[in-house]
Amino acid sequence: MPSNQQILLDNRPQGEASAGNFRLVTSDTPPLQDGQVLVRHHFLSLDPYMRGRMNDGKSYAQPQALGEVMGGGTAGEVVESRSDRYRLGDKVVGMGGWQQYSVVDATKPGAMRKVDTTQVPLSHYLGAVGMPGVTAWYGLVRICEPKAGDTMVVSAATGAVGSAFAALSKARGCHTVGIAGGPDKCRYATQELGFDECIDYKQHADALSLSRALKIACPKGIDGYFENVGGMVLDAVLPRMNTFGRIAVCGMISGYDGAPIPLANPQLILVSRLKVQGFIVGEHKEDWPAALAELAGLVGSGKLRPRESIAEGLAAAPEAFLGLLKGRNFGKQLVKLA
| 170 and 248 within one domain | yes
pLDDT the model gives residue 52: 87
- Nearest to residue 272, comparing CAs of 308, 216, 224? 224
CATH number at residue 251: 3.40.50.720
| 211 and 115 within one domain | no
| 203 and 67 within one domain | no
| 104 and 14 within one domain | yes
Q: How far from the centroid of its chain's Cα atoms is residue 6's Cα?
A: 22
The whole-model pTM stands at 0.89
Domain count, the chain: 2
Q: Is residue 290 part of a domain?
A: no
Q: Give φ, ψ of 291 to 5 degrees.
A: -65, -45
pLDDT reading at 253 higher than 90: no
| 137 and 273 within one domain | yes
| 140 and 118 within one domain | no
| 225 and 141 within one domain | yes
Q: What angle do CA 276, 229, 335 make, to 5 degrees?
A: 125
| 154 and 220 within one domain | yes
| 264 and 310 within one domain | no
| 193 and 172 within one domain | yes
Range of the domain at 205: 131-282
Taking the C-alpha atoms of residue 151 and residue 9, their distance in angstroms, rounded to an integer, is 41
Taking the C-alpha atoms of residue 205 and residue 168, their distance in angstroms, rounded to an integer, is 31
CATH number at residue 123: 3.90.180.10
Q: Is residue 254 part of a domain?
A: yes
> How does residue 296 score in pLDDT terms, banded at 50, 70 and 90?
very high
In one-letter notation, the amino acid at residue 103 is V
Averaged pLDDT score across all residues of the chain: 95
pLDDT reading at 86 higher than 80: yes
| 264 and 154 within one domain | yes
pLDDT the model gives residue 258: 67
Q: What is the pLDDT of residues 92-121, one digit of tens each?
A: 999 999 999 999 999 998 899 999 999 899
| 140 and 121 within one domain | no
Q: What is the pLDDT of residues 133-190, one digit of tens each?
A: 999 999 999 999 999 999 999 999 999 999 999 999 999 999 999 999 999 999 999 9
